[in-house]
A and B are shown apart, each in its own frame.
Chain A
Amino acid sequence: MTLLYADLPERVEPERPDRRRLEALAMLLAGAGAAVAGVGVVEPLLRSRRGPDDEWALSREAPAESITSGVERLVAPVSDAPVLVGPAREFQYAPVDLTDEASAIVNSVPDPAPLPGTGAAPRLVVTQPAPMEIEPIAPVTTVPPATSTTTAVAPATTVPSTTVPTTTVPTTAPTTTVPPPPSPSVAMQQLALTAGFTLTAAMSQTLADTGLEGWVDSQLEVDSVPDPGVDDALVGFDLLDADPNALTAAGLGPVALSQVRWATFVRMIVGERQVHEQVSGLWREFFAVHGDPADLVGLEQTIRRHALGPYVELLTSVLATPAIRRAYALPDRATADDLIDSGFVRDLLERFTLGDSELFDEAEIEGLAIDLASSTAAARTKLAELCSRPETAHHIGGAVVARFLGSPVPAVSGRAHEVFASSGNIGAVVRATLVEGLDHADADRTRSGELWLRAALRSVAGDVVVGGEWNADDPGSIAGMLRALGAEPGTGVSDDDADWETSTAIQARWVVARRLVGGSGVGASVDLGGLVPDPPLPAAVLLDGLFDRLGSHQDDHEREALLIYLGVEHDDLITTIDLGTIADLAALVLSFPRFQRRSGGRS
């Protein structure tokens, strides 16, 4: 497999003629039987205007995700071949010696307009790619991270890793999806979808053995739930529980945060502790703040530790984290001249406890600021008082219900409020929500962006390579896709179904769907040829096969839509079909309304 890059002296835009040379070369090699993974540029590369410094997004030292962004941007229109990914430093760069034939074809493309200051044509280089599936990189203790300045990482510290390892995660459910005996009941289906699971054979058996409520209880005992898929995938992710202060001292905050984000993704894909994941996700978005990476790692650790316990403990612990304290500029030791920020008090009341901005005014805010600043004990007492208010029970109970059910269900919400008011315990509220919700949950509710991506990966992708930098600026990466979908972790992602039915949300899925099946998602291997039966076949049969391969329900209306795309009738015989068309069809299925529902495709 060949991965082509070109050194270009100036910024490359898709419409620039330089790109046509690269396209021509890619097509030449593809025509000669070479597997062309991508065509891109190395340096100075694509300029990204995402920051005030106008930094160059890609360089030879750039992470794989960044390079893939450039590759995908340039090659996607001409090739649907998978984009090869891997840490850039693992590539060996060497100039390309073009054959006369290749040169003639490439040069038949009109010369690019001279670029300012140079007039130089691209210089092509070939990279030797790393294997598609990269084994986890052993923890390294002597190589300082790119972001480190002067402090070398001492070996044998509590922070042993300097990189995020890469590993491969199967996107399919761990066990068969064939409905087993006992036949899953409607209640089982409801519970599985509500709790964030695919109802597998193993889960059906477990539910039958334990009863639905017993299964919920077992999920609430997080540590007792075996999770071998996650454990295997996260081997080498050794910074997940590292002390944030040590991370900061070693300059490893960004690496650790990348590990944390990847771990969240892995748990979403293959985790068996989905209830804990769902609730951790709720609080991650509930307490979302921007901050130093190491601080955000600490915030995540705190949230996961207290996610299912008493809310007052969660709140008190979260507010004590450096992430929150720095976000709100909370003083270490308040004095008369250093009062607590009124902005913090407003958020404490409106977001974290009472939930209604009409319940308090300026004077109460000022008074509470003084109370919170007077002493740690007084602050804890005040927080406990706030958590015991009925408005807080309503607000927090409602948040839990929204997380699992997506929209208010009066009967369930009322029960959740009661349970919170009497116990203050999040786990108890979750239990009430799931159990009471069995009769009320809409299993066909709209998927969140995160759940849509999971379903899409399970439907079209084989393995997904996880690891490396978690870079949401790269639209071709998993992180970038989540951002594009409005589901970037820690940014206050919505639990409201209506937010996933807007024009913006729908169009984002259309874009990501085509990107994903085009093979340009980082590490997402897509076997396009395997998505449709071998032609010749009548169009209707071929499309039925496509729906079947994608695990999506047969839908006459959506099949008609695919026929519209192909411009054929049901009975027309399809004799050949190219990979680009298959990718288009698969992307359309992932974009259609049925797939936006939780019951559509593979959950």
Chain B
Amino acid sequence: MSRDLSRRAFLGRTVGTGLGGAVLMAAPALAGVHTGSEAESQENRISGTVVVVTLVGGADGLSVVVPHQSPDYYRLRPSIAIQPPEDPHGAIPFADAWGLHPALAPLVNEAGGSALAVIAGMGLANPPRSRSHRSSIRELHQRGEDRQGRGTDLLEHNELDASTAWWFGPDQHGLFRGLARGVGGQRPSDGLARYQDAAAARRALGHAFEDSESMAGGALGALAASTRWAAVDWDSTGTPTDRGYPPGELGDGLSAIADMVRSEGALHLVAVDQQGYDTHRNQGDGAAGVLAVRLDELARCLGSFWADLGPGAEAVSVVVVSEFGRTVHENRRGGTNHGKGGVALVLDQAVRPGLHGMEEGLGLALARGSWPVTTGVHDVLAEVLWRRGWSVPEMGEHEPKAVASSGSGGSGLFPASEGVDPAV
């Protein structure tokens, strides 16, 4: 494709967002990112927003989803087990012999029984030997990256502009490398707003960076994001606190995401983290402890987010993951160490609700004091992305796989009609 054609094609797609001349100037940097009509057709297939919430530290799956009829569970966790539903601080009944941590009540109440799926036994298919947080997060967020740093860039693979993605948090978010190309970190804003003529500043910067080789891509992402988010009507429905979000980075992030979803233009992938799940000590039970505090914040944030979206929730899928689970047995400090199987949550109006990912023989595994990984975390992510029309060729062992289900009467997180055939 000739250079002129690329420019025309991209300009044609971006005038609606006001990128205009700045992107025209920087169009050579787009080589390999946007390729004309194919890009348009791919983007048209993708709809809605996927929100990825990472519980950093390795969330304890057996406290989130509780096998409250397992004697082994209570034997191995004498002080931190979540008590059965009949206890005042006991688990919330959820599926057969399984319950949810009582702190998740705000989420369960808001999502009801129809939009919440829980995937047990979730984890990395190929975890690092050390199970360190850093390596595990890297594996989770940069799936497929080799030692030269080449990895799967989902945005590029799906031919999406970097301005359709965002991440919240202090660190560069490497989720599938796609977000690493985009601007993020905090509530997005027009970084050029201080200029007397912001549009002219965009044109000037676009011109200056168009031949800057290693920085052209980064500059283009910054220009696109700056333009994309300049017109968002932040807090138009009230401050985060007014809307019921608890104070903190997670609430701030999710409230901003709700504003971004409501704005014009596409937001396809966004990530936000919640810290504090490395509960080596004082993990606590259903009534108190570090984990109850974290899960309470998570549930209130997600519940407020779901309510905040209102009818717009139909276009949003939330997937909550963690880098690994924790040991079945509690340690001497009233906590748990790094383990294997964990848990994922999916909030989506089209999801098959209930408990997924269970396999026969889990009781035996618990008796041995281990909770294996039965569902790859990237399989879960792939299914959610697939449901929103993404092409995900290098995730989940290179093809989306149906997450095994129990209690929902079928296989897979979503009915087949909700996804686009990944082979297309």
Q: Residues of A with Cβ closer than 8 Å to B?
A: 49, 51-54, 76-77, 329, 337-339, 341-343, 346-347, 349-351, 357-362, 365, 446, 486, 491, 498-499, 501-508, 510-511, 514-515, 518, 557-558, 560-562, 564-567, 580-581, 584, 587-588, 591-593, 596
**A360 partner residues in chain B, CB cutoff 8 A:** 129-130
Do residues B222 and A358 form an inter-chain contact, with CB atoms below 8 A?
Answer: no
Do residues B332 and A507 form an inter-chain contact, with CB atoms below 8 A?
Answer: no
In the complex, besides A343-B338, A504-B172, 16 extra interface pairs with C-beta distance below 8 angstroms are: A49-B241, A52-B248, A337-B332, A342-B338, A360-B129, A362-B338, A498-B214, A502-B172, A507-B226, A557-B207, A561-B205, A561-B207, A588-B205, A591-B205, A592-B205, A593-B215
**A580 partner residues in chain B, CB cutoff 8 A:** 196
Instruction: List the B residue with the shortest CB-CB distance to A520.
Output: B194
**A511-B240 Cα distance, complex, nearest whole Å:** 25
Nearest-Cβ distance from residue B188 to partner chain A, whole angstroms? 10
**A52 partner residues in chain B, CB cutoff 8 A:** 247-248
Nearest-Cβ distance from residue B23 to partner chain A, whole angstroms? 14
Do residues B183 and A503 form an inter-chain contact, with CB atoms below 8 A?
Answer: yes
- For window 143-200 of chain B, which residues contact chain A by CB distance below 8 Å? 149, 162, 170, 172, 180-185, 191-192, 194-197, 200
Nearest-Cβ distance from residue A452 to partner chain B, whole angstroms? 12
**A581 partner residues in chain B, CB cutoff 8 A:** 196
- For window 272-319 of chain B, which residues contact chain A by CB distance below 8 Å? 278, 280-281
**A276-B258 Cα distance, complex, nearest whole Å:** 47
Nearest-Cβ distance from residue B82 to partner chain A, whole angstroms? 23
Interface residues on B, range: 35 or more
Do residues B132 and A346 form an inter-chain contact, with CB atoms below 8 A?
Answer: yes
**B181 partner residues in chain A, CB cutoff 8 A:** 502-503
Contact of A588 with B131 at beta-carbon distance under 8 Å, contacts A339-B332, A511-B191 already known = no
Interface CB pairs A-B, < 8 A, 7: A350-B130, A357-B134, A502-B221, A503-B182, A504-B172, A510-B192, A557-B208
Do residues B208 and A49 form an inter-chain contact, with CB atoms below 8 A?
Answer: no
Contact of A504 with B183 at beta-carbon distance under 8 Å, contacts A49-B247, A337-B332, A350-B135 already known = yes
Instruction: List the B residue with the shortest CB-CB distance to A13.
Output: B235
Contact of A357 with B128 at beta-carbon distance under 8 Å, contacts A505-B218, A561-B208 already known = yes
Do residues B278 and A343 form an inter-chain contact, with CB atoms below 8 A?
Answer: yes
Contact of A584 with B196 at beta-carbon distance under 8 Å, contacts A360-B129, A561-B208 already known = yes
**A32-B204 Cα distance, complex, nearest whole Å:** 35
- For window 104-129 of chain B, which residues contact chain A by CB distance below 8 Å? 128-129
**B241 partner residues in chain A, CB cutoff 8 A:** 49, 54
Whether a CB of chain A sits under 8 angstroms from the CB of B330 is no
Nearest-Cβ distance from residue B19 to partner chain A, whole angstroms? 14
Do residues A515 and B247 form an inter-chain contact, with CB atoms below 8 A?
Answer: no
Instruction: List the B residue with the shortest CB-CB distance to A354.
Output: B130
**B281 partner residues in chain A, CB cutoff 8 A:** 329
Nearest-Cβ distance from residue A429 to partner chain B, whole angstroms? 23
**A52-B245 Cα distance, complex, nearest whole Å:** 12
Contact of A510 with B191 at beta-carbon distance under 8 Å, contacts A341-B280, A561-B205 already known = yes
**A502 partner residues in chain B, CB cutoff 8 A:** 172, 180-181, 218, 221
**B278 partner residues in chain A, CB cutoff 8 A:** 343
**B94 partner residues in chain A, CB cutoff 8 A:** none
Q: Residues of B with Cβ closer than 8 Å to A?
A: 128-135, 149, 162, 170, 172, 180-185, 191-192, 194-197, 200-201, 203-205, 207-209, 211-212, 214-215, 217-222, 225-226, 240-241, 247-248, 252, 278, 280-281, 332-333, 337-338
Q: Which of B135, B195, B200, B211 contacts A567 (CB 8 A)?
A: B200
Nearest-Cβ distance from residue A464 to partner chain B, whole angstroms? 20
**A535-B114 Cα distance, complex, nearest whole Å:** 69
Do residues B218 and A506 form an inter-chain contact, with CB atoms below 8 A?
Answer: yes
Instruction: List the B residue with the shortest CB-CB distance to A593.
Output: B212
Contact of A560 with B248 at beta-carbon distance under 8 Å, contacts A347-B132, A503-B225, A593-B212 already known = no
Nearest-Cβ distance from residue A69 to partner chain B, whole angstroms? 15
Instruction: List the A residue with the shortest CB-CB distance to B173.
Output: A504
**A381-B419 Cα distance, complex, nearest whole Å:** 58
**A347 partner residues in chain B, CB cutoff 8 A:** 132
Instruction: List the B residue with the shortest CB-CB distance to A14.
Output: B193
**B217 partner residues in chain A, CB cutoff 8 A:** 503
Do residues B221 and A343 form an inter-chain contact, with CB atoms below 8 A?
Answer: no
**B209 partner residues in chain A, CB cutoff 8 A:** 592-593
Do residues A362 and B180 form an inter-chain contact, with CB atoms below 8 A?
Answer: no
Instruction: List the A residue with the shortest CB-CB distance to B127.
Output: A357
**B172 partner residues in chain A, CB cutoff 8 A:** 486, 499, 502, 504
**A560-B209 Cα distance, complex, nearest whole Å:** 12
Nearest-Cβ distance from residue B79 to partner chain A, whole angstroms? 14
Q: Which of A346, A510, A514 contacts B131 (CB 8 A)?
A: A346
**A349 partner residues in chain B, CB cutoff 8 A:** 130
Do residues B208 and A592 form an inter-chain contact, with CB atoms below 8 A?
Answer: yes
**A346-B133 Cα distance, complex, nearest whole Å:** 9
Do residues B222 and A343 form an inter-chain contact, with CB atoms below 8 A?
Answer: no
Nearest-Cβ distance from residue A72 to partner chain B, whole angstroms? 10
**A580-B198 Cα distance, complex, nearest whole Å:** 13
Do residues A507 and B225 form an inter-chain contact, with CB atoms below 8 A?
Answer: yes
**A349-B128 Cα distance, complex, nearest whole Å:** 13
Contact of A501 with B332 at beta-carbon distance under 8 Å, contacts A557-B207, A561-B207 already known = no
Residue from the set B133, B203, B207 with the largest chain A CB neighbour count within 10 Å: B207
Nearest-Cβ distance from residue B103 to partner chain A, whole angstroms? 17
Do residues A362 and B131 form an inter-chain contact, with CB atoms below 8 A?
Answer: yes
